[in-house]
Structure 1
Amino acid sequence: MKNELQLLGEKILEKKYQIAERVHLKVINKAAAQKLPMTEKEIIDIRANFVKLFGESLLQEADADTGGQLFLKWGKETGKRVCDLGIPLDQALKGTSYYRTCIWEVLGEEMLNHDMSLATSLKVGSILDPLLDQAVYAFSSAYVQCHEETLENSKRAFLELSVPVVPLAKGVAVLPLIGNIDTERARLLMEEVLQKASEKRLSHLLFDLSGVLVVDTMVADQIFKIEKALGLLGVETILIGIRPEVAQTMTNLGIDTGQLKIKSNLEQALKDLNESFGLL
């Protein structure tokens, strides 16, 4: 049987590109291929290298334990690469069953030509099937992880853009907040504001809340914390632009703003700063 497995392994290696092309034709049509961020040759090369692993596994009689590391490595690397290229996961996994089918087409023909036994066929299946399953699992896991990291990075970039500290004069800047402030944005707000206040050497920071529709106890608490942290850096915080409905909500919630410096709008805040400190 060993010689038969080696013969089958050599046949897969010999026809790896033929198998890869068969899989490719089953998976994708010409119209779809034109939209992919890779050339057809590059895709077939990837498929052929994958098929090559099956041939080598038969040559070495590698099972899921001894040969699995190569398939896991292939799955992790290829899954991340495909994700980086922006190819949808369902499209990338579409060829999984076709690999099995096309490889077995070649193996079946070779087994018939050499009158191989059922035992050989079962042995081949016991080697190849678990390895394919491992590769698919590693590929999917790597793709999902890469996709989640991409989403997280995009989300963080968006959040960072939503904390714009805009300089108005030497030592004075305004932070216009827009939209809801959830726990994650509040945490990032603290980090970004402190860092930018230090970088820009601010003495005064105006918090413009005119674009904030809802202020609850969590948001208010975060504003208090930022105000205290900025105070430790020598930066005075001034709240401006509180909407009437927000002011009413804050009053109903019993939020004490007595310790905060508040002005009605940006114009009034700048006027007071100029009169008091001649900053503008």
Structure 2
Amino acid sequence: MPYIQQEKLHAIKETILQRKEKLAENKRLDLATSHNIYTELTTFRLDLLTTYAGSLLMEKEAANEVMEQWGNNMANLLVNHGLPLNLALEEISYYRDVIGEIIKEEAKNNDFSLDAFYQIISHFNSIVDNAIQFVSKSYVKDYTEKINYAQYAIDELSVPVVRMTEDIGILPLVGDLDTKRAQYLMESALEKGSQYKLEWLIIDLSAVPIIDTMVADQLFKVIAGLQLLGIEVVISGIRPEIAQTMVNLGIKVEEVRSFSSLHQAVQYTNSFTGSLM
């Protein structure tokens, strides 16, 4: 901003800072009637007003840096509390109007030229527009990371290697196997099989509705990896319709012992481990 406007800009900045507590409290009371948790945003409102005020005296690049930091912090708060993005966007827009009125008042009281007023309001609107972009991008990023973390936790729980005895483990699979879950299946089976020092692992497919070429390919990669670790693999729970599908797809399982029920697979593996004890 040109040097000639610095004194005028300082006056606007001080007016905003003097009113920020009242402005933030008014907004808190407005929202608290229906959303009590929103009262936690008071600090962020004060930070926003302070940032808006200070940015009036900054060059655009410097103003964007401080707005980006505010946007990141605000998005993090929203995601952690399960609050919607439109809440932040509404706050940003609300204070655009409020501060716009303050700028207009100061322009009238101090006889700003039309060019000076236009330059100040344009600079401020540019800052607000960037604030919207920063908080939106950061919110999407944080929300996506949270969803991915939750999905990873679900996948981990849905691919459990259960230790039945010192030597035998069971891997019960439930639901569809997509590419990502199949990859986790590989990692979990190899990690737990090695960690538990298993001699046998029963992979139970009783609750897997569909076996296609992708699932079969991933499944046999898991089996090959386990065999390299010295772990014998048995498949259980292959229902007639799944067996028919595997035959139609040309999937061969001659090298892996399979059983129609988990009970049969357990009896089979127990007969071997019992003979070794």
Query: Which residue of structure 1 lines up, in the alignment, with residue 25 of structure 2?
Result: 21
Which deviates more, 97-106 or 270-279? Answer: 270-279
Q: How does 1:37-186 map to 2 (within 5 A)?
A: 40=39, 42-58=40-56, 61-186=57-182
Aligned pair 1:2/2:6, yes or no? Answer: yes
CA shift at 1:271, angstroms? 2.1
Question: Counterparts of 1:182 and 1:6 in 2: how far apart (Å)?
Answer: 59
CA shift at 1:29, angstroms? 4.9
Aligned length: 272
CA shift at 1:3, angstroms? 1.7
Question: Counterparts of 1:151 and 1:113 in 2: how far apart (Å)?
Answer: 51
Which AA in structure 2 matches 1:30? T
TM-score, normalised via structure 1 length: 0.91
Q: Is the 8 A contact 1:63 1:131 kept in 2?
A: no
CA shift at 1:269, angstroms? 2.0
Query: Which residue of structure 2 lines up, in the alignment, with residue 31 of structure 1?
Result: 34
Q: Is the 8 A contact 1:160 1:188 kept in 2?
A: yes
CA shift at 1:254, angstroms? 1.2
Query: Which residue of structure 1 lines up, in the alignment, with residue 187 of structure 2?
Result: 191
CA shift at 1:23, angstroms? 4.2
Question: Counterparts of 1:23 and 1:112 in 2: how far apart (Å)?
Answer: 26
Query: Which residue of structure 1 lines up, in the alignment, with residue 252 of structure 2?
Result: 256
TM-score, normalised via structure 2 length: 0.92
CA shift at 1:243, angstroms? 0.7
Q: Is the 8 A contact 1:23 1:102 kept in 2?
A: no
CA shift at 1:217, angstroms? 1.2
What value does the CA root-mean-square deviation take over the aligned residues?
1.8
Q: Is the 8 A contact 1:19 1:103 kept in 2?
A: no
* Runs of 4 or more consecutive aligned structure 1 residues displaced over 6 Å after TM superposition: none
Question: Counterparts of 2:24 and 2:110 in 1: how far apart (Å)?
Answer: 24
SS of residue paired to 1:254:
coil
- Unmatched 5+ stretches in structure 2: none
Which deviates more, 152-161 or 76-85? Answer: 76-85
Which AA in structure 1 matches 2:15? K
Which deviates more, 12-21 or 146-155? Answer: 12-21
Percent identity of the aligned residues? 36
Which AA in structure 2 matches 1:169? T
Question: Counterparts of 1:23 and 1:14 in 2: how far apart (Å)?
Answer: 16
- Unmatched 5+ stretches in structure 1: none
Q: Residues 235-277 of structure 1, C-alpha deviation per residue, up to 9 Å, x if partnerless?
A: 0000011011000111111111111111232222222233333
- C-alpha change, 1:7 and 1:224, in structure 2 (3 Å) is same
SS of residue paired to 1:15:
helix
Question: Counterparts of 2:27 and 2:113 in 1: how far apart (Å)?
Answer: 27
Aligned pair 1:206/2:202, yes or no? Answer: yes
Q: 2:267 aligns with which of 261, 264, 271?
A: 271
CA shift at 1:171, angstroms? 0.9
Aligned pair 1:11/2:7, yes or no? Answer: no
SS of residue paired to 2:138:
helix
CA shift at 1:153, angstroms? 0.4
Question: Counterparts of 1:131 and 1:125 in 2: how far apart (Å)?
Answer: 10
Q: Is the 8 A contact 2:167 2:273 kept in 1?
A: no
Q: Is the 8 A contact 1:179 1:211 kept in 2?
A: yes
| Greater length-normalized contact order (CA 8 Å, ≥ 6 residues apart) | 1
Question: Counterparts of 1:66 and 1:90 in 2: how far apart (Å)?
Answer: 26
Question: Counterparts of 1:18 and 1:84 in 2: how far apart (Å)?
Answer: 27
Q: Is the 8 A contact 1:4 1:120 kept in 2?
A: no
